[in-house]
Amino acid sequence: MKIGIDLGGSHIGVGIIQGGNIEDTMDKNFTEEDRKDIQVTIINSIQNLMDQILNKHQLSLQDVEKIGIASPGTIENGTIIHAGNLGISYFNIIERLQEIYTMPIQIRNDGKCAAIAEKQYGAMKDYEDCVFINIGTGIGGAVFLGGKLLEPKRNSGFEIGHMVIQKNGNLCTCGKRGCFETYASIKALKTKIMHTLGIKEKDISGQYLREVLMVQYHDALQKDIEEYLDNLTIGISNLIDIFEPEVICLGGSFSYYEGNPVLEQLREKIKMPNTTFNNEDIKIVTADLKNNAGIIGATL
Ligand SMILES: [Zn+2]
């Protein structure tokens, strides 16, 4: 069996993974105190959670074939170069963990992990040419052609959230203007809708957002949704024209949109004449493994 670790902006999860299944997971949420020295917190949490979960299942370290970590941000050679949500720069997590553990340890960007898991066990398993789009706070992605994950030698590549869809558009966290994710992330949609409905809270849950979109009771909301989907369609149609995938798989928060009219509307928009170069009917599916994709993919 393998150990999968899901490192997020606000929590860490450790799971026992067998094939494409999660046998069990244990989590820890980061407190303000934990964040003061987040690198130490991460290493200690991994040790504690691994001890606990192995004990619970009467397993020992000898039973662990491999440890895989899914992390946000840019990863290179076992180092988290930059992870904004975690407030981490240049943290060689693999080196630190190999001082404690002898089995192989690997780390990959969480979006890529999710894509790999979906390709092997989830919604993309029956296709060779696929584009995976992780839509959440930002937008990430991965592309498979001929069944193979495309990976550049330098940098992570496939920063599809940062393709520009609007000249002189919204300022992005990356410093550029008009990036796809500033218009088409779930965060962008949430902000728009909270503004229209006059919701003053700092954040609303993904589930609440989906319920609002399900009902679409507000006339003004229709305009927001239309505009949001037009922008999402621009990005997706660009990807279709470049890669000609058999399927587009929507992950992240969007994995929960099957049955929501917003997804149906998106499918309709992409099918419209003159939206893509070849005007073909491309399958748009949602990710099967939902939130589990990252932790499963980390071990692959
Ligand atoms: Zn950007």
Alpha-carbon distance 135 to 116, whole Å?
Answer: 16
Predicted local distance difference test score (pLDDT) of residue 171: 95
Alpha-carbon distance 50 to 47, whole Å?
Answer: 5
Q: How far apart are the CA of 111 and the centre of ligand 1, in A? A: 16
80: three-class secondary structure by DSSP: strand
Q: How far apart are the CA of 154 and the centre of ligand 1, in A? A: 18
Mean pLDDT score of the chain, rounded to an integer?
Answer: 93
| Residue 188 pLDDT greater than 90, yes or no | yes
Smallest Cα–Cα separation from 228: which of 194, 274, 278?
Answer: 194
* Residue recorded with tokens 């929501």: 260
Predicted local distance difference test score (pLDDT) of residue 46: 97
Is the residue at 116 inside a domain?
no
Query: For residues 132 and 114, is the Cβ–Cβ distance under 8 A?
Result: yes
Same domain, 244 and 152: yes
Smallest Cα–Cα separation from 69: which of 46, 51, 99, 44?
Answer: 46
Same domain, 96 and 174: no
Same domain, 150 and 260: yes
Q: How far apart are the CA of 172 and the centre of ligand 1, in A? A: 5
* Residue recorded with tokens 């922008």: 231
Query: For residues 4 and 17, is the Cβ–Cβ distance under 8 A?
Result: yes
Is the residue at 132 inside a domain?
yes
Instruction: pLDDT band for 218, please (50, 70, 90 cuts).
Output: low
Q: How far apart are the CA of 282 and the centre of ligand 1, in A? A: 26
Instruction: Report pLDDT digits (tens) over 246-286.
Output: 999 999 889 999 999 999 999 999 999 999 999 988 999 99
The distance in angstroms from the start CA to the end CA of the chain is: 12
* Whole-prediction pTM: 0.88
Same domain, 145 and 282: yes
Alpha-carbon distance 194 to 212, whole Å?
Answer: 10
The alpha carbon dihedral of 117, 164, 10, 35 has a sign of positive
Is the residue at 300 inside a domain?
no
CATH code, domain with 45: 3.30.420.40
Q: How far apart are the CA of 227 and the centre of ligand 1, in A? A: 19
Instruction: pLDDT band for 173, please (50, 70, 90 cuts).
Output: confident
Is the residue at 176 inside a domain?
yes
Alpha-carbon distance 233 to 284, whole Å?
Answer: 12
Instruction: pLDDT band for 220, please (50, 70, 90 cuts).
Output: confident
How far are the Cα atoms of 166, 167, 175, 203 from residue 171, in angstroms, in the given order?
11, 11, 7, 21
Instruction: pLDDT band for 79, please (50, 70, 90 cuts).
Output: very high
Is the residue at 120 inside a domain?
no
Instruction: Report pLDDT digits (tens) over 95-138.
Output: 999 999 999 999 998 889 999 999 999 999 999 999 999 998 88
Q: How far apart are the CA of 245 and the centre of ligand 1, in A? A: 24
Q: Last residue of some domain: 69, 103, 137?
A: 103
Mean pLDDT of 187-205: 90
* Residue recorded with tokens 């660009």: 238
Q: How far apart are the CA of 175 and the centre of ligand 1, in A? A: 6
For 59, residues 6+ apart whose C-beta sits below 8 A from its C-beta are 1, 16
Domain count, the chain: 2
* Residue recorded with tokens 């092997």: 120
Alpha-carbon distance 3 to 5, whole Å?
Answer: 7
| Residue 217 pLDDT greater than 70, yes or no | no
Same domain, 20 and 168: no
- For 269, the token pair is 């928009």
Q: Last residue of some domain: 71, 103, 135?
A: 103
Same domain, 276 and 139: yes
Is the residue at 64 inside a domain?
yes
277 lies in which domain range? 126-287
Is the residue at 86 inside a domain?
yes
Same domain, 143 and 263: yes
How far are the Cα atoms of 69, 209, 253, 259 from residue 205, in angstroms, in the given order?
26, 6, 11, 18
Same domain, 69 and 148: no
